[in-house]
Amino acid sequence: MSELIITPKTKILELIETYPQLESTLIQYVPAFSKLKNPALRKTVGRITTLQQAASIGNVAVEDLINQLRKEVGQDLYTSSEESDYKTQKPEWFSEERIEMELDAGEMLAAGEQPVNQAVADMNALSGGGIYKVSAPFIPAPLIDKATSLGLDHWIEKLDDQTFEIYFYKKS
């Protein structure tokens, strides 16, 4: 089974079935989820509730919850192995002048919105040779995977533990 990448869209049940040790962290962040110890509630509520929704219920920032959960299972997407799908070495194609559009995913997440659809629409509008910059409070794995499937290259720059800039490049 492939490793579950923890994202705002990850369902609670999937998270605690893959990483049972995270149940206590989740309950610590969102005390209302202590009810997940009840098997019936775990199967119903856990199956439909995402981490984004859990963060809202617990009145915590989704990026704090994601970063804490990833940290506890050693899911550091930035410094993962050589075979990683996430590129952290500055590429030859990068140039500030090529940035055509930018998106602050942190602002959208704080407003309870998912930035993926906006980002994909923006990437599709890029001209050949253009770069799209996304600022995010954690590495947006699903967005990077989607961009890769659309044929875009990427580079992740880590500014600090809660600030990542991801550059997507559309080949000419």
Domain ends where: 37, 72, 107?
72
Which residues form the domain of 67?
Answer: 12-72
Question: Do 62 and 108 belong together in one domain?
Answer: no
Q: Output the pLDDT for position 75.
A: 86
Please report whether residue 85 resides in a domain.
no
Cα distances from 85 to residues 115, 127, 141, 159, in angstroms, run: 20, 24, 9, 19
Residues 104 and 59 in one domain: no
pLDDT tens digits for range 22-43 = 999 998 888 888 888 888 888 8
Structure tokens of 38?
A: 């009840």
- pLDDT digits 0-9 by tens, 12-22: 999 999 999 99
Identify whether 102 is part of a domain.
yes
Across-strand partners of 134?
103, 166
Q: Where residue 140 sits, what CATH number does that domain have?
A: 3.30.110
Count: domains in the chain: 2
pTM (2 d.p.): 0.69
